[in-house]
Structure 1
Amino acid sequence: MSLFSNLLNLHSGRKPLEDFFTEIIAYFLSLNNDILLGWLKHYSIISDNNYSSIKISTQQEHKGLESHTEDSRLDIVVELSNDLSTDVIFIESKIGAKDGNNALKKYAEILSNLPNVRHRILIYITRDYDPKDEIKTPAFNLEPKVNFYQLRWHQFYARLQQYSTDILAQEILIFMRKNGMSHTNQFSPVDLLTMVNYNKTLNLMESTLGEEVQREFKLAFGGVINGAASMTQWRSYSRYIIYTKFSGDNLWCGLGYFNFNSDTLTEYPYLGIFLEVSARFGERPKIIESMQKIINDKPNI
């Protein structure tokens, strides 16, 4: 496991994967301006690299315009300056989620309203396929104009491999593989084998988590939420489970298969059970204390 994966696992509650990765990438590019400019030039986002100052910031807040219902927070803002002018790039990064609440339109409008800027550029970079064909170039026909570019994280991964002798770059590459950001649209022999056996494997998992297991799960925890949601769990959390909730979404229990989509062929899924309590739940400390007491009292289970 990579250094960054270990650090992310230290975070209690829901892991902030996108914000965490944003900070890593922004820090790396701030240390390696040549890689940043080479990446931007490779996709014709900028035409030259004759900049005397490069400033990169993260989670930059901008007050909403009159037409906006709320303020905005930008993942990464890049300011490229020389003696005469400044170019500004907003980068919206997505790993699992997609553009929600028409955020890209708001960011483009904020970018268009910035004063004293020569080129205004909005980049939307995602792990998953999320086409934005409706966003024209110039984006949303704004004036001053905003140029929109859509990229995928696997493209950045391929570029970064050219610098794999850098220790920090190596750790980023491992982290990207671990979180599915290195995948291209090319099928490997393993992918084809998975496609052939997909339905068979899915039926086996459904069968082994059904009937007797579900009956015992209901006896222990009071119920089972519709198992169809397991496909969402598979896609978002690399697991296939049956589960039930207590106190709304504040406390819940899941049973099933974990550790799908490993970045190596030597790590296999495992069968497991978990109890998870929301970081926002007022009774969280008591529940954690009770869980810890069970572990201490019965360490052999």
Structure 2
Amino acid sequence: MFLDLIQLYRKNQNIGKIPLEDFNTEVFANILKMYPKVCEDFCLNFLKLPLDNYIIKTQYHQFIASQKPNCIIDLVLIGDSNICFLESKVESIEGDEQLLRYEMALIENHSEKGKYLLYCTKYSDPKKVDLIRNTVSFNQIRWYQIAKFLKQYKENPIIKSYLEFLNQYKMSQDNTLKSENLIAMENMRKTIEIVEFHIENSKHAFIELFGGTSLNKNANWDQIKDKNRVCYYKDNILKTEKNAWSEILYAIEFGELKMTSQIYVDKNHESYQDFVDLKVPENFKKVEFDFGAAIQLQEELGKYLNNIYADKHIQDWFIDSFKQIKSLINTNELQWNLKK
């Protein structure tokens, strides 16, 4: 159900039908409701709340005895002896005296309970601790910290999809500038130039076997930003009446530090199931993604570390992988759209 909701949000986001903050809070709250062990881990080990029997409420109405507006708290954890208000911000900032009003609501409505107030934001928005009285424990957290916590449960398909949602809206990214980031910045241009050289060094052989694709000047940057790689590819390699995506691609992957050559086919392609069912040699690896599948050859980039002949060895590996992919293509009955 939540996977469908996330897809629905993505379809409607541009026309403003569903506020991002409300949608995000409801999905996260329902994950906590659905998985009691995750909820317990979140409350006790992540938030460091006291041991209690917590239930989850959203859009929780609270009255306060003042001229200030009453409160509607995004997410509330209610225990027998403790209560925690969590206010979530994604693309907005704190409302007028919002945290102060939540403090008042906790004090006026929950005098017998341990009281906790959390301010969870996408961006840094530091608040003075002395804003909150001694009777209320106040803390600030960021959405990237929640994403990091949830990654230990990423084998769960719903949590995995939610993590992808957080990543899409840049809520899982820790933007703290660290020493390793400065070192990476210093060497980034040279590193990209080296990787681009190795991709260019094998392009002629790739085009000879499969044909070429005209890429715009920003193609490498787009690939680095979106896929964490530099690559070259030939698309539309399988015949289709549905304009479905298929490609042969070779790349250097930054995250895995690997060289990859692969055939990739989208799930909505007419030949997808036949492609997935192909029998391949043992050195090929089949990988299924959310939107398609690939048949891959890979090699560790570190194998050529500090090797003065690395440019030739890397080129040789790519060219050999192209030939193996070409041989695979020539030995099956799929409707390939490639030059002979």
- Corresponding residue for residue 171 of structure 1: 161
Q: Is the 8 A contact 2:132 2:138 kept in 1?
A: no
If the length of structure 2 is used for normalisation, what is the TM-score?
A: 0.50
CA distance in 2, matches of 1:4, 1:191: 38
Q: Deviations over 1:151-199 (max 9, x none)?
A: 1111111111101111111011100100111111257599838998xxx
1:118 aligns with 2:113: yes
Q: Is the 8 A contact 2:89 2:122 kept in 1?
A: yes
Aligned pair count reads 192
1:217-236 equivalent positions in 2, closer than 5 A: none
Q: Is the 8 A contact 1:4 1:171 kept in 2?
A: no
What displacement does 1:34 show? Answer: 2.2
- Corresponding residue for residue 183 of structure 1: 173
Task: Report sequence identity in percent.
Answer: 23
Q: 1:120 to 1:11 in 2, by over 3 A?
A: same
| Structure 1 unmatched ranges of 5 or more | 197-258, 267-301
- Corresponding residue for residue 77 of structure 1: 76
1:34 aligns with 2:27: no
Q: 1:8 to 1:193 in 2, by over 3 A?
A: farther
Q: Which moved more, 1:5-14 or 1:169-178?
A: 5-14
Letter of the structure 1 residue corresponding to residue 132 of structure 2: F
1:150 aligns with 2:116: no
CA distance in 2, matches of 1:115, 1:60: 14
What displacement does 1:62 show? Answer: 1.9
- Corresponding residue for residue 314 of structure 2: none
Out of 128, 131, 141, the residue aligned to residue 133 of structure 2 is 141
| Structure 2 unmatched ranges of 5 or more | 190-221, 230-340
Q: 1:110 to 1:152 in 2, by over 3 A?
A: same
Q: Deviations over 1:181-233 (max 9, x none)?
A: 1111257599838998xxxxxxxxxxxxxxxxxxxxxxxxxxxxxxxxxxxxx
1:252-267 equivalent positions in 2, closer than 5 A: 264-265=227-228
- Corresponding residue for residue 210 of structure 1: none
CA distance in 2, matches of 1:262, 1:178: 12
3-state SS of the aligned residue for 1:182? Answer: coil
1:18 aligns with 2:21: yes
Letter of the structure 2 residue corresponding to residue 78 of structure 1: L
Higher radius of gyration, 1 or 2: 2
RMSD (CA atoms): 3.3
- Corresponding residue for residue 192 of structure 1: 185
Q: Deviations over 1:37-83 (max 9, x none)?
A: 322333463243xx3x4321111122243141x222110011112xx
Q: Is the 8 A contact 1:177 1:263 kept in 2?
A: no
Q: Is the 8 A contact 1:74 1:92 kept in 2?
A: yes
Q: Is the 8 A contact 1:128 1:152 kept in 2?
A: yes
Q: Is the 8 A contact 1:33 1:54 kept in 2?
A: no
- Corresponding residue for residue 201 of structure 1: none
- Corresponding residue for residue 102 of structure 2: 107
Q: Which moved more, 1:121-130 or 1:36-45?
A: 36-45
CA distance in 2, matches of 1:16, 1:111: 26
- Corresponding residue for residue 214 of structure 1: none
CA distance in 1, matches of 2:6, 2:184: 25
1:96 aligns with 2:91: yes
Q: Is the 8 A contact 2:88 2:119 kept in 1?
A: yes
Q: 1:41 to 1:265 in 2, by over 3 A?
A: same
CA distance in 1, matches of 2:10, 2:57: 24
